[in-house]
Amino acid sequence: MANTIDLPAAAVPSKPISDRVRQWVFWLIVVALLVWSWRPAEMYRAVSLVTDWRNMAEFAGGYMQPNFADWRIYLEEMIVTVQIALWGTALAVVVGIPFAILSSANICPQWVVQPVRRLMDSFRAINELVFALFFVVAVGLGPFAGVMALFVHNVGIFAKLFSEAVEAIDPRPVEGIRSTGASRFHEVLFGVIPQVLPMWSSLTLYRLETNVRSATTLGIVGAGGIGQTLYESIRSFQYAETAAQIIIVVLTVVMIDLLSARLRRSLV
């Protein structure tokens, strides 16, 4: 009987030392940043969440008896809030798509991509509330200022999200269309858009959901919707009315979340 030699099992390749060093450096930087921002962020005051819980409980007690006497008014304002989010999102998608194409490194040259990306960065960096203040001054109080605030801010967001989807496409369909002598426009229209459309649709639904939440706060600066009514109730210490409005907002956002989640699953 021939002697057999047992070969050792294939060893699992270990990570190179350089990769492990980079991981340790990364986590050290994260910890250092958290330590650096501990005092400026007043994280030492977290203990008051335990020591002053009675004050918080007493304050929260005022919200335990919501008053729905004016529920029709609250519901009408909530519908306006949803309409603000719908228009802000729709306009941002229409304008964001060209900027997304111009921001995609696999479609456009760097001398176009970089300036467009920096412009979109500036749109994203400014909060909707700041834009709402600008438009309230420009066009007056009301829902239109809220629409424009969501529109401008979300153009930057859609350009970023959509361009990332474009940069992840399979290049072979685009190359096949290019080999036929088609123009760059037709490459994008027939080679890029069909690949990214399901992802774009999913991202649009997700942003619509988040824009409804954002639109509820724009009323604080007079940009329409339930946020304005909610802010007045809070300022007047009308806790019962405030609680009723918060419940309506939460239920609306939950319903939109459930609907958009189902639609996203069918699209992706």
Q: Write down the domain spans for the chain.
A: 71-267
CA distances from 56 to 44, 46, 187, 221, 240 (A): 18, 13, 59, 27, 16
Under CATH, to which class is 71-267 assigned?
mainly alpha
The yes-or-no verdict on residue 94 having pLDDT over 90 is yes
So what's the pLDDT on residue 216?
Answer: 87
Q: What is the mean pLDDT of the chain?
A: 84
**pLDDT score of 12 more than 70:** no
pLDDT tens digits for range 142-191 = 899 999 999 999 999 999 999 999 888 888 888 788 888 777 888 888 88
**Position with higher pLDDT, 10 vs 224:** 224
* Local confidence band at 267 (pLDDT 50, 70, 90 cut-offs): low
Instruction: State how far the Cα of 20 lies from the Cα of 56, in Å rounded to an integer.
Output: 45
Per mean pLDDT, which of 17-21, 76-80, 192-196 is the most reliable? Answer: 76-80
